[in-house]
C-alpha cells in the first residue's frame, strides 16, 4: 500500500515522521494516518510534495498498485497521433503532459483502491 511505501522511503532517508511532515508542510498526524493507511486517499498535491522530499516520483509511490491499468508497447493509432499533435499546437508542454499522465495514474490507482477496499468516494 502507498502508506507503507512512504514509510519505507522515509526510513531509508533517515527522516522521522516529524521531520518529513515539516518538510512536506503537512501535520504529523496526517502523515501518520497516511503511513498507517488510515487515510488511504491522499491528494496528488500531498503525494507530489512527499515525492519531492524523497527524491522520487509520484509514480514510484503508487506504481505497485497500478499494474494492469494500461498496456505497454501498444502502438499509437492515427487518432492518438492527431490528439498529441493538436495538444502540441495548442501549447501543451511536456511537463504539463507528464503532470496529466501522473494525474490519470493517480485517478486509476484511487479507483482501484475504492473497488478493492471500500475507500471513500473522491470529491
Q: Which residue has the higher pLDDT, 89 or 123?
A: 89
The closest alpha carbon to 2, from 15, 20, 43, 18, belongs to 43
Say how many C-beta atoms besides its own lie within 10 A of residue 21's C-beta. Answer: 20
Higher pLDDT, 100 or 18: 18
Q: How far apart are CA 22 and CA 95, in angstroms?
A: 27
Pick the CATH number of 2-117 from 1.10.3720.10, 1.20.120.450, 1.10.260.40, 1.20.1300.10: 1.10.260.40
Cell, residue 52: 519531492
- Kindly report, residue by residue over 65-119, the tens digit of the pLDDT: 444 434 445 566 788 778 888 888 899 888 888 888 888 888 888 888 787 765 4
With b for 16 or more beta-carbon neighbours within 10 A and e for fewer, the 35-45 pattern comes to beeebbbbebe
Amino acid at each position: 500500500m502507498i502508506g507503507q511505501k512512504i514509510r519505507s522511503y522515509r526510513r531509508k532517508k533517515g527522516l522521522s515522521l516529524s521531520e518529513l511532515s515539516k518538510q512536506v508542510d503537512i501535520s504529523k498526524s496526517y502523515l501518520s494516518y497516511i503511513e498507517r493507511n488510515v487515510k488511504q486517499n491522499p491528494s496528488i498535491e500531498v503525494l507530489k510534495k512527499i515525492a519531492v522530499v524523497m527524491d522520487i516520483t509520484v509514480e514510484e509511490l503508487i506504481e505497485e498498485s497500478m499494474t494492469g491499468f494500461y498496456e505497454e508497447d501498444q502502438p499509437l493509432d492515427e487518432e492518438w497521433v492527431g490528439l498529441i499533435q493538436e495538444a502540441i499546437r495548442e501549447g501543451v508542454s511536456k511537463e504539463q503532459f507528464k503532470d496529466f499522465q501522473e494525474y490519470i495514474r493517480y485517478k486509476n490507482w484511487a479507483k482501484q483502491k475504492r473497488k478493492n477496499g471500500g475507500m471513500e468516494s473522491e470529491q
